Structure 1
Amino acid sequence: MKRFFAILILSLAMTALCATTIYDIQYTTNAGPDGTYPSPMEGQDVTVTGIVTGANYDQDNKFFMSDPEGGAWHGIYVYDYTVGPVLGDEVEVTGTVTEYYGLTELGYCTVNILSSGNPVPAPSVVSTLNLVVPAQAEPYEGCLVEVQNVEVTEAQDEFGQWYVDDGSGECQVDDEFFYLDSVTPPIIITVGMTWDIIRGCLDYSYDEYGINPRTPEDLIEVADAPNNTISSVSEFTGCYPNPFNPETTAYFNLAQDCNLELSVYNIKGEKVRTLVSEELTAGEHHILWNGKDDQNKSVSSGIYFMFAESNSIDFTSIKKVILIK
C-alpha cells in the first residue's frame, strides 16, 4: 500500500511538472513569415490554468488570463463567451491554440472556474514604444500592462481608438471592455490631455497592439493640472497604483497649510504605519508607502486603509488599497 501511494504521489508530481503553462504557449523568438510571432503550439489542443486579468472583453464575456506570476509571455486571450468569469477567478481552460490575424488566442474552449477572489497579477510597466515594435510588444500580448506619464497625441476616432506617448513613441489605446461615453461622467479624450497611468490588457488587431482599459479606474488622471496647483477644497485624490506591489503613492491637494497625519491601518483596524505627521504647505503632495510597517518590516498581502486627518482644517478622508504579492 505504501508503495502504491508513493507511486501515486510521484505520478501527480510529474503531472504538475509537465502541465502546460501560458508561458509555454506564448514564448517564442521566431517572428514567423508575417512578423507576428505565432505560438510554437499553434493548432494544438491544450489545458491551462490561470488567473483572469480582464473580464467581459468585447462586452461579450470573453476574457484574458495569466499565469499567477504575471509578466511578459504569461498572458493570453480566451475566445469564449459562454461562462463569463470575473476578475480574480482561477480558471481551467481547454482549447485550441489559434492565431487570429496575428493574435494568439485559445479558441473552441471549455472553461471551468476553480476558485474566485484570487490576487490579480500586477501589470507590467512598459514604455509606449515597447507596445509598438513587434519584437518588443509581442512578449506582452495578452498581458496586463501599464504605461505612465503619457500625453494624448490623437483623439478617439470612430472606432474607439486613441493614441498616447510617454516621449518614446505613441501607442494605441482601445475600448473593447467599455465605451468611454457610456460611463458617468463620460470620458472625453482630447489631444494634449495627460494621464499619470493607463493600464489594461494588450491585444493585437489590424496590425497594431492596443491597451484596453478594463474599467474607468484603469485611466488615472492626476497630472492634468499644473504642478502645485492649489485647490479651493482639500482632497485626498487616491492611491496609485492600486492594487499595488511593492509600493503605492497617495495623492493629496491641500487648500491651505495644515498639519496632516497620514496613517495606514490593516483590516483589523490596527495602525501599521504612520507615513507623515507634520505641517504641509497648500498644494499638491505625493506620499509614498513602500508596503512596510513602522518597524520597516514588509506587511502581508491584503486590504489596507489610508487614513488622512487634519484637525487644523477639519479634514478627514479614507482610501482603501490592496497589496498583492
Structure 2
Amino acid sequence: MKKLFTFLIVVCVGTLSFAQTVFQSNLSSWAAGVPTDWMGSKTSISPANVVEQTVGVTYGTSMASLINATTTHKRFTTQPVAVTPGETYLIEMWVACQTTGQLRTAYYDLTNLAYSTYNSYIDVAAASAGNLVLVSQTVTMPAGCTSAEFILSVVNTDPATAGSPFFIGILVDSVAITTSAPPVSTPYTINQIQFTTTPPYDSPHNTELVETSGVVTGVQYNGYYLQDGNGPWNGIFVLDYTNIPNRGDSVTITGTVDEYFNYTEIKNIIIYNAVAGGVLPTPTPVTTLTANEEQYEGCLVKVLNANCSADTTSNAFREWTINDGSGALVADDKMFIYAPTVSTSYNVTGIMDFAFSVAKLLPRDINDIAIATGIIENKSNALLVYPNPAKNLLHFDVNINNTTVQIFDVTGKTLQTTNNNSTKFTVSLDNFDNGIYFYSITDNNNTIIGTNRFIVAK
C-alpha cells in the first residue's frame, strides 16, 4: 500500500504541473455518515450504501465503499463544480473490489439541466485484482455548461455481506478531476460526412469528432437539421438538447458523428455558434420512391401530386402514407401534426428522417403541405405548365417577367437551367429521355413561384 501511495503523489504533482485541478477528494472528510464533498443532488445511491473505510487507506484517513449489488446502476456524484464549456476533463480514481463490480463516469449539466452520455463500464474486479489501482476516463462539457456534478456510476458490486469488510462494494480511495487537452476535431462538409456508396451506408467518419456548418432547416424537441447547399447528401440531424436555433440560422458545430441504428447524426456537441440570416436551401424535388433513398437522409425535399393512401388514424404514431405512383412514402408528425384526407393528393415539403428502419418525411408546419391542384399559385401569379406528359417542348405561362426555370431528374440532379424575360416561353426537351422529371421556377428575387412533376414520353 505504501508504494501505491507514493505513486499517487507523483501522479497528482505531475497533473498539477500541466493541468488545472477542478476537484480533488481523498474521501477523508465525513459528516452524518457521508463524505462531505460528495452526495450531490443527482446522487441516487443510498447513504447507507456509502460506507466509510479506515483500514488499508493509502491517501488521507478514509476511503469509501460504494455498494450496489443490483444490475441497475446507482449514481455517486460530487457537489457542484465550476467547469468551462467545451473543456475536456480527466477523472482519475484509485479503486478496488474483490470479486465483482463495475464503474463508469459521466456528469450532470447543472446549467442546462441535462445528463451527459455515460462512458463505458470499467470492470474494477478485473482491473484491480483486489488491490487499489488507478483508472481514468474523460468527459467533455457541452456548450453553455458552467457548473456540473461529476458522476461515478456503480453496478454489480460485491454485496455488504462480502467476506471481509475491506472488500464490500467498490472501494474508492482518491479522486482527482483535472482539465485535459481537448480532442482535436477535423473540419468536414456535411456532404463529406454523409456521402458513401457502401451498404449499410454508415458515415465514413463515424465516431470521429468533426466540425461542420450548415443552415438550420428544421427544429424539433431533441435537436435540429442542418443542410449545406441543395441536393442529396447535404443534410444531417444534430442531436442536441442544449442549443435551440431558429430555422434559417447559420450554425457551426463541433461534435461526434454517430450511427444510431443506421441513422447518421452528430451528437455530444461541445462547440456551438449560430448566426441569424442564413440562406435556406431550395427543397429538392423527388418522387415518393426516391425520397426513401439514403442520399436524402436529413435533406429538405418536396414531393408532388402524392396521393394519401393511409391517414393518421391508421396507426398510433400519427403517420400517414403518400404515393405519387412511384412508391409509398411515410410522413411523420415529429415536427408538425397534420390530419390528411385519404384519396386526396398533396404537395408536401419536409425533411427526410429515418427511424425504426423506415425513411420518413417530416413536414415542418402547415406551409409545407398543400392540396395538389395541377396549377400552382403564389403571390397571386397563376402558373400554367403544359403539356403533361410532354414530348419535345414544355410550355410555361406565368404573369411575371424575368424568371428562371430549373429541370431536375428524380435524384434531384439539375439537368437544365434557363433564364426567361417574357411571361410565356418554352423549354426544349430534345435531350431528355423518357421518364419523370421536375421543374422549379423562381422570380428575380430567387423566390419559388412554383414547382411540380412532369413526364417526358416520346
Confirm or deny a common fold (TM above 0.5).
yes
1:62 is aligned to 2:223: yes
Aligned mate of 1:201, from 322, 327, 351: 351
What is the SS of the residue equivalent to 1:49? strand
Cα deviation, 1:267-321, whole Å, max 9, x if unaligned, reads: xxxxxx8848xxxxxxxxxxx99546xxxxxx3x467xxxxxxxxxxxxxxxx97
8 Å Cα contact 1:198/1:218 also seen in 2: yes
Q: Which runs of structure 2 are paired with 1:131-280 in the superposition (5 Å)?
A: 131-132=291-292, 137-156=293-312, 157-180=315-338, 188-195=339-346, 197-223=347-373, 238=378, 250=383, 262-263=399-400, 275=423
Equivalent residue for 1:115, pick from 265, 275, 282: 275
Matched, 1:40 2:204: yes
Please list the CA deviations of residues 30-87 of structure 1 after superposition, one character each: whole Å capped at 9, or x if unmatched. 103xxxx111111111010111111x22xx26110011x2211111000012121111
* Higher-RCO chain (CA-CA 8 Å, sequence separation at least 6): 1
Whole-Å separation in 2 of the counterparts to 1:45 and 1:275? 51
* Structure 1: segments with no counterpart, 5+ residues: 1-17, 181-187, 229-235, 241-247, 252-260, 266-272, 277-287, 293-298, 304-319
The letter of the residue matching 2:342 is V
* CA–CA distance in structure 2, aligned partners of residues 119 and 23 of structure 1: 17
**Aligned equivalents of 1:23 and 1:222: distance in 2?**
32
- The 1:289/1:170 distance shift into structure 2, 3 A limit, reads closer
1:88 alignment partner in structure 2: 248
Q: Is the 8 A contact 2:188 2:210 kept in 1?
A: yes
Partners in 2 of 1:191 and 1:39 — Cα distance? 37
1:118 is aligned with what amino acid?
G
Kindly report which structure 2 residues correspond to 1:293-312, keeping only aligned pairs within 5 A, or say none.
Answer: 299=444, 301=445
Matched, 1:20 2:180: no
Radius of gyration: which is bigger? 2
Q: SS state of the match for residue 295, structure 2?
A: helix
Residues 165 and 80 from structure 1, CA distance in 2 versus in 1: closer, same or farther, beyond 3 angstroms? Answer: same
2:205 match: secondary structure? coil
Counterpart contact for 2:216–2:227, Cα < 8 Å: yes
| 2:247 counterpart letter in structure 1 | L
User: SS state of the match for residue 361, structure 2?
Assistant: strand
Identity rate, percent? 31
Q: Partner letter of residue 227 of structure 2?
A: S
Q: Identify if the C-alpha distance between structure 1 residues 264 and 61 changes in structure 2 by more than 3 Å, giving closer, same or farther.
A: farther
Structure-1 residue corresponding to 2:137: none
In structure 2, the CA distance between the partners of 1:190 and 1:85, relative to structure 1 (3 Å rule), is same
Give the AA of the match of 1:189: P
Q: Provide closer, same or farther for how the CA distance between residues 263 and 210 of structure 1 changes in structure 2, counting only shifts above 3 A.
A: same
- Is the 8 Å Cα contact of residues 211 and 252 (structure 2) preserved in structure 1? yes
Unaligned runs of 5+ in 2: 1-185, 385-397, 403-420, 425-438, 451-458
Change (3 A) 1:179 1:289: closer
- How much has 1:193 moved relative to structure 2? 1.2
1:250 positional shift: 4.4
Aligned equivalents of 1:289 and 1:154: distance in 2?
28
Q: Which residue of 1 aligns with 2:171?
A: none
**TM-score in terms of structure 2 length:** 0.44
- Aligned residue pairs total 221
Aligned position for 2:239: 79
Letter in 2 for 1:38: D
Q: Secondary structure at the match of 1:198?
A: strand
Are 1:50 and 2:214 matched, yes or no?
yes
C-alpha distance 29-249 of structure 1, shift in aligned 2 (>3 A):
farther
- CA contact under 8 A between 1:85 and 1:113: conserved in structure 2? no
The 1:30–1:175 alpha-carbon spacing in structure 2 relative to 1, beyond 3 Å, is same
Instruction: Give the TM-score normalised by the residue count of structure 1.
Output: 0.60
